[in-house]
Every structure is written in structure tokens, then in C-alpha cells.
Amino acid sequence: MSSPQAAKAARPDNVQLVRTAAEITRHLAEPRPIIYWVDSFVSAAVGWVSFYLSATLRWPWAFLFFPLAVLGFYRATVFMHEIIHFSGSRMKPFGVGWNVFVGIPNLMPTFIYDIHIRHHAQSQYGTVDDAEYLPFGVMPPPHFILFPPMSMTIPLLAILRFLILAPVGWIFPAAGRWVQRRASALAMRPEFERKEPFKSSAWRVQEAAAFAWAAFIAGSVFVGWLPLRFVWLWIGVIAAGAILNSTRTVVSHRYRSGNQRMTFIEQLRDSVNHPNGFLPELWAPVGLRYHALHHLLPFLPYHSLPEAHRLLMEKLPGDSVYRETNSPSLPRTLGVLWASAKQTPTC
């Protein structure tokens, strides 16, 4: 992609851009825990209440509350991304609370997403070591078109992971090592494998809690305490949210890496903001609509990104690379990705 000489020549611009952007937004860098608590748990409450009403009411009300359940759970779940980035002492209580009320009940504890930090490492972004990157921009279009529908299997895989594979791994050490390597990460790449052990034992607590919850639900259905339709509805809600998130993922980058290392400026150009209108806040919530800005300044909390984007657009030079990252809409981004992918030979 880039020669060592080109990367070296671009480095001063990288540093200057980051320094300037950081200086402009320095006053926005402190996460405010109260915003995280209120936003995430209101979203979770909307999800759980809408889920219950969708499961218990008759048509058409059941149908009307389903999308509210999807959007509520989806927004609440996306806070996992913030937890991974902001794990300091002030935010640890929020991470624990989120796992209790959102992550564990939806079989998505935070330990399965700790690999996200790799996605921000300049040495790994866009390479085979980046679990959150597939070169859709240099692959035939069917690859990125089929990616969102395939994600509907996520709730079934989550049930398999925590209800079946977790206890098997506890009983058989070899199986447990395989589960840790191959079934303990939210990864786009099917071949992704963890090469390092977990940094703390917190994942064991989260895994055990997720198993206990899944076993409790399964037992409740078995003895007749919980109607099976609640489980099927939960699968449908989580699957719909997964499709929404996968669509958001597809338009978060231009995916032109080709599994090769990129310079910081190339990484920024490869990332996309969707700053216009209200709809992106539904399909790319909790700051993910400003994905290029997040890659430029990953230390900014989500609630600061709209103001940070406004300031950068106002104060950065007119020829700044950052301005190239903005897309007017999701369809426009998909069109650019389609045009790029269509140039790829099919054989």
C-alpha cells in the first residue's frame, strides 16, 4: 500500500494533524459518567419494556413495539464500545453496571470485545491481525452485501457460546483453550484467533454469569415458567440489532486496505463520518456516526463528538484530510463502496 519512505514522509503531517485536533478539542476529553449511566440505562429500559410489550400484546401493538425494542437494545449494547475505550477508575462502576443490566442478559459481556483496541493500532489496522476489518473495498460486492444478513446468527451463536461451550470448556481444558482462542471475540474475520491470554480474570466472572443467566432462562422455559415465544422474540430482536450494527460497520470504513498496513493519514481517509441529519443517530448511535473522528481522536467520549466535529470543521484548514472523511448519507457511502468493490475482478 505505502512504501516505508512515503510513510516516513507523511509522519510529520500525522503528528501535526493530531496535535492540532487534540488542542482544539482538549476541553472535551473528560468522560462524564452520569451521561453514560442515564443514556445507557434509559436505552436499556426502552428495550426491555418494548420487548415485554411486544411479547405480551396482540397485533398490531406487538409489531409496533418490536422496532422500539430493537433500537433500545441496540443503543444500550453499543455502549460496550465506550467501555473498552474508557476503562479508568471513574468508569469502572459503569462497566460493571452495564454488564449486569445489559451485557450479561443479552449474552454480550464486555470481555468478548476487548480485541477492539487492535483496530486502533497503526501496526494492525486493516491487516489480518485486525479482527474488525475485511477488505470489502477491494473484494467483489457480494462480500459486503451478504455481511449484514449473515450477522443474524449472532444470538444463536451467543447461546451456543455461553450455554454449551462455556461449561464444556470448564470440564475439558483443551476445549476451554479452543473456546478462548476461537470463540471469545466479536470479530468480522472468521479466521480470527486470540493469540494472547486475557489480561485479567474478570472474563471468567462474566462468562460464568452469562452461563448462569442462559441456564436460568433455559430452565425456566423447560419447566414452563417462561413461554418459549419470549426466547424467540429475544432472538429476533438481537438478530435485527446485529443486522443494523453490521450495516453500520460496512459504512464505517472504505475498506481499501487489502490486508496491508496503512499510514495514519490513509487510515483516516479510509474511515467515514456521517454527521448530517437525525437518522444516523439511530443506525450509528453513541458517537459511531463520527467514526473517522473517533479514529483521529479515540480518547474523546461519545458525548463530546458532535461538538468536537463542529469545532474541527470550523477551525481546521480548508484542505484538511479530515474534511474528506465526511459522507452525506448511508446510501452515498454504500455507493462509493460498491463502485470501489465493483472494480475488483470476480475470479
For the stretch 290-346, pLDDT in tens is 999 999 999 999 999 999 999 999 999 999 999 999 999 999 999 999 999 988 765
Q: Strand ranges (DSSP E) for 188-326?
A: none
Q: Is 95 helix (H, G, I), strand (E, B) or coil?
A: helix
Give percent above pLDDT 90 in the chain.
85
Does residue 256 or residue 7 have the better pLDDT?
Answer: 256
More confident of the two residues 238 and 2: 238
Instruction: Measure the CA–CA gap between 206 and 201, rounded to whole angstroms.
Output: 9
Residues 6+ apart with CB under 8 A from 79: 36, 39, 40, 43, 98, 102, 286
Per-residue CA distances from 195 to 171, 177, 181 (Å): 22, 11, 7
pLDDT band at 278 (very low <50, low <70, confident <90, very high): very high
Alpha-carbon distance of 174 to 52, in angstroms, equals 40
- How much is the pLDDT for 10? 41
Q: Is 99 a residue whose pLDDT tops 60?
A: yes
pLDDT for 15 equals 78
Burial label, 20 (beta-carbon count in 10 A; 0-12, 13-18, 19+):
middle
Cβ 252 vs Cβ 291: under 8 Å: yes
* Res 7 pLDDT > 50: no
Nearest to 237 by CA among 154, 115, 308: 154
Given a contact cutoff of 8 angstroms between Cβ atoms, the answer to whether 306 and 286 are in contact is no
Average pLDDT score, the chain = 92
Distance CA 94, CA 40 (A): 10
CA dist list (Å): 99 to 20, 121, 143: 36, 26, 32
| DSSP type of residue 131 | T
pLDDT of residue 13: 60
Across residues 210-227, what is the average pLDDT?
98
CB 287 within 8 A of CB 155: no
* Residues 288, 325: Cα–Cα separation, whole Å: 13
Cell of 129: 491481525
**Which three cell numbers, joined as nine digits, stand for 135?**
477488505
Distances (CA, A) of 72 to 25, 113, 214, 284, 318: 30, 20, 21, 13, 38
Total residues found in the chain within this entry? 347
Segment 203-231 mean pLDDT: 97
Confidence bin at 4 (pLDDT 50/70/90)? very low
* Coil/strand/helix, residue 253: strand
Instruction: Please write the tens of the pLDDT for every residue from 110-158.
Output: 999 999 988 999 889 999 999 999 999 999 999 999 999 999 999 999 9
pLDDT digits (tens, 9 = 90+) for 27-68: 999 999 999 999 999 999 999 999 999 999 998 999 999 999
Q: What CA–CA distance (Å, rounded) separates 195 from 217? A: 33
Q: What's the rounded Cα separation, in Å, for the pair 314 and 34?
A: 29
**Which of 321, 261, 295 lies closest to 2 in space, CA to CA?**
261
